[in-house]
Structure 1
Amino acid sequence: MRLQHLHLLLTLAQTGSLRASAQALNVTQPALTKALKQLEEEFGTALVVRTPKGVHLAPAGELLAARAATVVREIERAREEVTWHTQHAQATVSVGVSPAAALMLAPRAVARFQSRWPQVRVRLVDALYPKALLQLRSGELDLALGPLPATGLGPDLAVLPLTDSPEVIAARAGHPLAKSRRLVDLESASWVLTGPLHGPGDPVHLGLEALGLSPPRVMLECESFSTLLAVLPGMDAVALMPKRFFDSHGPRNGLVALPIADALLQTTIHLFCRTDAPLTLPTQRLKDGFEQEAKALRRERNNT
């Protein structure tokens, strides 16, 4: 199997056409068909299904394409790293960051990294789990920073706890429950769930049922905290939000933090990377920078 075979399979998946794939790969259609036949013979099964409307990957082809995408990206990264070592060319490190991680860790860590590695481009991607871990596994991201999934991790990912991110309950200024001091006062509240079920923005973590209350009544689901920030000021609802995110954006958008005296949860921000692929040198150095920034935050917290 050659690298061009992997490119062929990925291109077929994208175009759904033998002719379009041949044009994209700058080969003749008979040559492409021959290469596809060789690949199918090597694996002993059909990888592509031909129809009057074009082609699509067979189940075995989809399995191979998923692996092929990772292989192609790793080879591209290897070429990039070798070029960087030999010619000091520009490299790119892609990092998925949760809202709290973006505010608490990214600014100073990235600034220090870029002052020492100006030739390396850092790409920060807004990412909420579990999507961030899917992107990390596929090779779209080099690192991911965010909460640990409730379901845990497999052996293909390494995880390192970095720092805690306190949460607040936010509402619009003037909300009837805006001055509530106890969780029991929120039994009648309407809630906004932000992100996935059982994620940091899910009010189920507050344990209202353990207090003898009804489960939180979720009236709206938002995919991101940015969307929550846009809609919450116009609603009679409350929502969990990272404290650092609230401090930066809440008050100027007409939101207040409820003065809840009960202890609220803290989400621990973790750093994730793959165990089946070595980190490039720039990626390792940026990873070190996030760890150093987390230590600095802990020192600051201990001194206050």
Structure 2
Amino acid sequence: MKIDERHLIQLAAVVKTGGVTEGAALLGLAQPAVSRTLSMLEMRLGEPLFIKGRRPLQPTSLGLSLAEQGLVMLAASRKASDLVESFRVGKSGVVRVGGTPFFMDALIAGLCAEFQVTHPDVRIDQSYGYFPDLRAALKADQIDLAICPIDILDEGSGLEFQQILPGRNVIACRVTHPLLLKRRPQPSQLLDYPWVAPPPGSPLLADLRALLLSFGATEIKIRYSGGSLMSVINYLKAADALTVMPHSVVFALRKEKSITALPLTIPHPERALAILTRADSARSPAVDQFAQHIRSGFESLRHLIKRHEEAVVWGR
């Protein structure tokens, strides 16, 4: 015998609350409709569901067993409704974000943790890549958004971008580097030291080569290359090597007091850190909530980074 699940849920509500009126109110139904459901169910079963004359209503053994099944369904229905509502307001779901390694490790990972304090049911799947790979992943619907530095976005690319931080590079070194003893180190003096190359594919690698050529280098002393942000930091801490980093990354490491920037303004391409999304793609509310959190986080950081830049790079 097949029993309508809705009938079991209504029976469970009545047993749970001890009355038809109360059970109907729990489900948001009219009391006469629930009474009719219980009567129809008893007629179909050929057995009573409640002991006659008992108030509050007391279920028979069959009524109680069926109500227990209905309670499971009622709980599942309530959970499903909560999940739908949570998804609609961006409190649950999955956010697939890709980004360039240095920015993701130094800045975005912390913002992800902050986001999940208020959105604990949102899962964040993070991946690494540079602009060409991230653009391809967006178009293939493998990620929902990308956070990366870009120079210019071609019209007709099918992507939208929102700038979250102006780009500026600095020369990073350990806090005890000999060049920091000089009030204003000269570009030619930088060529006396070895350099750490950013990871292959990073736009910083092209920036480093262009920078050293502008200093008059005929040979680039690359001592270490291919490392992650953490390995580059640990290398710099133990050597008098130099490297090119976004100032915002150096800013994010300021509390460790191990890496800093040389007080030297250097040329670099016009570039901005941006959030990239597909123009034709409908995003889930959780993705929009996450993007807004990233924008707000960088809005707060922008002024602090600017002050740090003025103090460290120009104000020594």
Task: State the TM bucket, normalised to the shorter chain.
Answer: 0.5 to 0.7
1:240 to 220, 237, 244: 244
Shift of 1:175: 4.8
8 Å contact kept, 1:195–1:202: no
How many equivalent pairs are there? 221
- 1-structure distance, mates of 2:195, 2:155: 29
SS at match of 2:192: coil
2:231 to 218, 227, 230: 227
State the match for 2:143 in structure 1.
141
Identity score, percent: 19
2:284 to 280, 285, 303: 280
Equivalent AA in structure 2 for residue 148 of structure 1: I
**1:47-62 mapped onto 2 (5 Å cutoff):** none
Equivalent AA in structure 1 for residue 114 of structure 2: A
Q: Whose strand proportion is higher, 1 or 2?
A: 1
State the match for 1:100 in structure 2.
103
| Shift in alpha-carbon separation, 1:210–1:194, aligned structure 2, 3 A | closer
- 1-structure distance, mates of 2:194, 2:307: 38
The TM-score with structure 1 as length reference comes to 0.56
Q: Which has the larger radius of gyration?
A: 2
State the match for 1:85 in structure 2.
84
| Shift in alpha-carbon separation, 1:252–1:111, aligned structure 2, 3 A | closer
| Shift in alpha-carbon separation, 1:263–1:87, aligned structure 2, 3 A | closer
SS at match of 1:259: coil
State the match for 2:18 in structure 1.
none
State the match for 2:121 in structure 1.
119
The TM-score with structure 2 as length reference comes to 0.54
SS at match of 1:195: coil
| Shift in alpha-carbon separation, 1:204–1:138, aligned structure 2, 3 A | same
Equivalent AA in structure 1 for residue 142 of structure 2: E
SS at match of 2:162: strand
Unaligned runs of 5+ in 2: 1-80, 309-316
| Shift in alpha-carbon separation, 1:251–1:100, aligned structure 2, 3 A | same
Equivalent AA in structure 2 for residue 100 of structure 1: F
Shift of 1:272: 0.9
SS at match of 2:203: coil
Counterpart check, 1:196 vs 2:200: yes
Structure 1, residues 63-122: CA drift from partner, whole Å, max 9, x if none?
xxxxxxxxxxxxxxxxxxx9953785952112124433554456457635651x443222
- 2-structure distance, mates of 1:154, 1:132: 17
SS at match of 1:189: coil
Deviates more, 1:95-104 or 1:235-244: 95-104
Unaligned runs of 5+ in 1: 1-81
2:211 to 182, 207, 212: 207
- 2-structure distance, mates of 1:254, 1:288: 32
8 Å contact kept, 1:198–1:205: no
**1:162-177 mapped onto 2 (5 Å cutoff):** 162-172=164-174, 175=177, 177=179
Equivalent AA in structure 2 for residue 111 of structure 1: E
